[in-house]
Structure 1
Amino acid sequence: MKKITLIFLIFSGILQAQQKPNIIFILTDDQSYDLLGCTGNAIVQTPHIDKLANNGTLFTNAHVTSAICTPSRISILLSQYERKHGVNFNSGTSVSDTAWKNSYPVIMRNNGYYTGWIGKNHAPIGKGGYNSELMEKSFDYWYAGHGHLGFYPKDNHDIFNDAIAFTQPEIINEGVDEFLDPNARKLKGALHFLEERPSDKPFMLSINFNLPHGASTSTMKQKDSDDTIYKTLYRDLEIPLHKNYIAKADIKTPKLPENLLHVEDRQTGYNYVDTPKDLKERYIRELQAMTGIDRLVGNLTAKLKALKLHKNTIIIFTSDHGLFGGQQGLGGKALCYEQTTHVPIIIFNPNTPKKNRGKKK
């Protein structure tokens, strides 16, 4: 079953349930299938996401239909193929107001859900796209930036200026300012959403990362203010090259025409795959980003339990597409080979019978 259809059917089925569960939908960016412990990565530390898979269902053969951010994310929002919605990264088009009414956030809100959108938005919605403000007005809780966030979102989006943290996963995570005073002001973020949501409504929270996307990992600087995760983790390990990796200098007879390799017209942004040294550095950053994201998932599940919401909250985790890591000498995405279309989908439903948990589909 195609990913976009699967996710939309999940949301539709939820609306038909007698007792409406809460839903948290976590979407990463440029995350290949093999960047989790539960999908076979022996290096990355993702214990909290792995726990979701072990207690839920891991879909091992899920594929996106457009291996690039904007069309893939709109496909998820609308449950439509790119050829239907017609919005691509460089198309200059946006989702119409009429089409947006059939998106999962609008449908959920119209059915009594308190809705939130946190992190990155890379879907132009309404006349004028990102400037229409239709996206912002469609949610009860909005804490996001249009386009790329960078690893340090305050550098790119004013909405994050009041955050205590500086790095992307931690800004998206924030809630009570426990670092300074448990009784101090509450910061915006995923934990804040859970703390402040109305208790008389079910909620639907969409958390959207701009990681481990190259536009964010390229800006990681190992600042003094960065968590140890982003400075030293994985740097003492021998990092293997991806299977079928080939350096650009070693390609004697290209198997694909050069103009095809520039299908994104942004291919140079992924030219770190050209040499083993640069690729290993970027791969370490991707691993670090995944561990940062995993920590947020752990904080979310702990907060749900503290608020006694854990028995009625479904968590869905996936990525908008995968990424080439130098396999056959390729970098970037957009070319719809399995490396770029294959993504994990994890669905954790606390009400699933124990005998059906930990399944792989």
Structure 2
Amino acid sequence: MIRCRIVLGALLVLTAATARATRPNLIFILTDDQRYDTLGVTGNTFIETPNLDQLANDGVFFANASVNSAICTPSRACYFLGQYERRHGINFNSGTAMVPEAWQKSYPMVLRDHGYFTGYIGKNHVPIGERAYDTGLIDESFDFWYAGHAHLRFYPKRHHEIFRHARADTQIEILEEGTMSFLRTDRDFIAGANAFLRHRPPGQPFALTIAFNVPHGAAASTMELRPSDPELYRTTYRDRLDALPLPLNYVARNLIRTPKLPPDVLYAEFRQKGYNYVDTPETLRERLVRQAQLITGVDRFVGALRATLASEGLAENTIIVFTSDHGIMNGEWGLGGKALNYEACLRVPLIIYDPRQPEDRRGRRSMALAESVDIAPTLLDYAGIDIPDTMQGRSLRPVVEGLVEDIREASFAENLWSTYFGNPRIESVRTHEWKCIRYFKNDRSLFANVDPKNPYPVLPEQVEAYARWLTASIRGEQPVYEELFHLPSDPQENVNLAGRPAYQAVLERMRAECQRLVTLAKGDLDTPPATIVVPGIREGTTRPPRSTSGPVPE
């Protein structure tokens, strides 16, 4: 059953109700696999997103925001902790979970410790404690918890007991019920969920995280177009299916002549079968129309959220941050999935809306090089809380308020999810003009003992390899392949300039910057991440799988 408790000790942090009322409420909305180019404000003319476009027009839209890791679990840990993966050490192939002491330095826990009423709704994809997702620590650490571990899919009731009392059957609408129950104090919205009769105390500021599992394939691929589904998910956009644009550099599988990456860098033949929909225009369009429906569903959720904030008298003091955990490849050069450092995977929409901002500071488009590690310190900054020294990101509040144009000269990203599925280890650095991507040895011998029928369990040799990879390039390992792109003239990253003599000086400069940033990301080489190895860890649980098919860690 949904749990909603009031931590009395938190009420003692602030000395007066008037002091509490002056602190802004915070809402952080995180979608799943949503690319930058999926909003009207980013130029998309197919997907209808009027509410998100309005949120951007009322706030600040970050046009150069990127994630630090383009795979679900490490990216979400980056958001929670404000740390790069090389520091927090959490991934599907790490075999580890975050220790409770590290979790206490996450933005929700710091906010709670400073008097905020905290809520979490949706998908959790970060393991914590000695039993990972089964520990229960994260569930118990929020004042209001209405979430499931790992994928929610399109019909969450099938997979997560916590959602069984919801009136709706579809994910976005179930999470909307939970959100309205958090915000509304007049009645219980979800039948049978008596815990909702106790709500956040009046006057106490709240911090609510809403984490969707859409437009992720776990939701899009499980849509059944039931007659009982909202019409949005059955018919919308289907009359324009043939007009749905494919990426400019889309290549169908049977037309690939020259692979984007050398075959010993990216073992494309081992790609997860769940991404085979990119192989033909027809199957890709079917997936894209489902993604479009889900994104419009999120957009309508945002509209309902803002309307409820207004009706509850909360709109003028509630800051909203909207972004995604990463993007995804939609058949560019024939590639599918994520865990690559191309813009399609790294670049995400980011909107920060502060209703207290003067009119002349709203509706701006910032070109600042924002990163996912910046969200946690930004939220704490708005709450008036000192940013812990464990956080590596920087507050974006000065950018929102027009005090500075940027907070860094270059952004960093990495991929350490190098697994049976063929993805390489990657480090990349991006400036406003240049992008350098460095690929490291993709050692297939690590997966010699992997069962191809059940390739997801993390073997001891993979855990050991991941631990080495955290410092390998800093200790001297050299890349086996490099790419260099001039983004203003080549935003699609089609032309690799790394091998051209005229660009060697630029390449050397970008190499040095990448090495500087990866060293900063790791910190002290001899200090391991604040993690614990969890034997048998799997996505969402440590319990043995019910079948040999295994989960799909995406």
Question: Shift of the alpha carbon at 1:241?
Answer: 1.3
Find out whether 1:104 has 2:107 as its counterpart: yes
Q: Structure 1 pair 184/100, CA: closer, same or farther in 2 (3 Å)?
A: closer
Select the structure with the greater relative contact order (CA < 8 A; seq sep ≥ 6): 1
Q: Please name the residue that 1:208 is paired with.
A: 211
Percent identity for Structure 1 against Structure 2:
54
| Residue pairs, 1:32-71, within 5 angstroms | 32-71=35-74
Question: Shift of the alpha carbon at 1:83?
Answer: 0.5
Find out whether 1:360 has 2:365 as its counterpart: yes
Query: For 1:263 and 1:104, how far apart are their aligned partners in 2?
Result: 37
Q: Please name the residue that 2:318 is paired with.
A: 313
- In structure 2, runs of 5+ residues without a counterpart are 1-18, 367-554
Q: Structure 1 pair 185/309, CA: closer, same or farther in 2 (3 Å)?
A: closer
Q: Structure 1 pair 352/102, CA: closer, same or farther in 2 (3 Å)?
A: same
Residue type matched to 1:280 in 2? R
Q: Please name the residue that 1:129 is paired with.
A: 132
| Residue pairs, 1:202-351, within 5 angstroms | 202-237=205-240, 238-258=243-263, 260-262=265-267, 267-351=272-356
1:241-288 deviation per Cα after TM superposition (whole angstroms, max 9, x unaligned): 111000010002223234544589663211100100000000000000
Instruction: Give the structure with higher Rg (CA).
Output: 2
Q: Secondary structure at the match of 2:97?
A: coil
Query: For 2:156 and 2:100, how far apart are their aligned partners in 1?
Result: 28
Q: Please name the residue that 2:521 is paired with.
A: none
Query: For 1:345 and 1:177, how far apart are their aligned partners in 2?
Result: 23
Q: Secondary structure at the match of 1:211?
A: coil
1:84-130 deviation per Cα after TM superposition (whole angstroms, max 9, x unaligned): 11111222211111111110000000000000000000011122110
Find out whether 1:170 has 2:177 as its counterpart: no
Q: Secondary structure at the match of 1:236?
A: helix
TM-score by structure 2 length?
A: 0.59
Query: For 2:54 and 2:322, how far apart are their aligned partners in 1?
Result: 12
TM-score by structure 1 length?
A: 0.89
Contact 1:116 1:193 in 2 (8 A): no
Corresponding residue to 2:89 among 68, 86, 89: 86
1:154-195 deviation per Cα after TM superposition (whole angstroms, max 9, x unaligned): 0110100011100000000016999xxxx985228xxx9899
Query: For 1:327 and 1:99, how far apart are their aligned partners in 2?
Result: 38
Query: For 2:58 and 2:197, how far apart are their aligned partners in 1?
Result: 22
Q: Structure 1 pair 185/356, CA: closer, same or farther in 2 (3 Å)?
A: closer
Q: Secondary structure at the match of 2:29?
A: strand
Q: Structure 1 pair 311/321, CA: closer, same or farther in 2 (3 Å)?
A: same
Residue type matched to 1:321 in 2? H
Q: Structure 1 pair 100/175, CA: closer, same or farther in 2 (3 Å)?
A: closer
Q: Structure 1 pair 33/177, CA: closer, same or farther in 2 (3 Å)?
A: closer
Q: Secondary structure at the match of 1:142?
A: strand
Question: Shift of the alpha carbon at 1:197?
Answer: 2.4
Residue type matched to 1:114 in 2? F
Query: For 1:71 and 1:17, how far apart are their aligned partners in 2?
Result: 33
Q: Structure 1 pair 193/119, CA: closer, same or farther in 2 (3 Å)?
A: farther
Q: Structure 1 pair 175/341, CA: closer, same or farther in 2 (3 Å)?
A: closer
Contact 1:263 1:334 in 2 (8 A): no
Query: For 2:78 and 2:179, how far apart are their aligned partners in 1?
Result: 34
Query: For 2:28 and 2:269, how far apart are their aligned partners in 1?
Result: 28
Contact 1:176 1:185 in 2 (8 A): no
Query: For 1:132 and 1:264, how far apart are their aligned partners in 2?
Result: 36
Query: For 2:271 and 2:129, how far apart are their aligned partners in 1?
Result: 26
Find out whether 1:155 has 2:158 as its counterpart: yes
Q: Structure 1 pair 33/330, CA: closer, same or farther in 2 (3 Å)?
A: same
Query: For 2:215 and 2:348, how far apart are their aligned partners in 1?
Result: 13
Residue type matched to 1:21 in 2? P
Query: For 1:354 and 1:43, how far apart are their aligned partners in 2?
Result: 29
Q: Structure 1 pair 275/312, CA: closer, same or farther in 2 (3 Å)?
A: same
Q: Please name the residue that 1:22 is paired with.
A: 25
Q: Structure 1 pair 50/161, CA: closer, same or farther in 2 (3 Å)?
A: same
Query: For 1:51 and 1:31, how far apart are their aligned partners in 2?
Result: 18
Give the ranges of 4+ consecutive aligned residues of structure 1 lying more than 6 Å apart after TM superposition. Answer: 192-195
Corresponding residue to 2:76 among 47, 63, 73: 73
Residue type matched to 1:339 in 2? A
Residue type matched to 2:259 in 1? P
Find out whether 1:118 has 2:121 as its counterpart: yes
1:218-237 deviation per Cα after TM superposition (whole angstroms, max 9, x unaligned): 00110011111000101111
Contact 2:187 2:197 in 1 (8 A): no
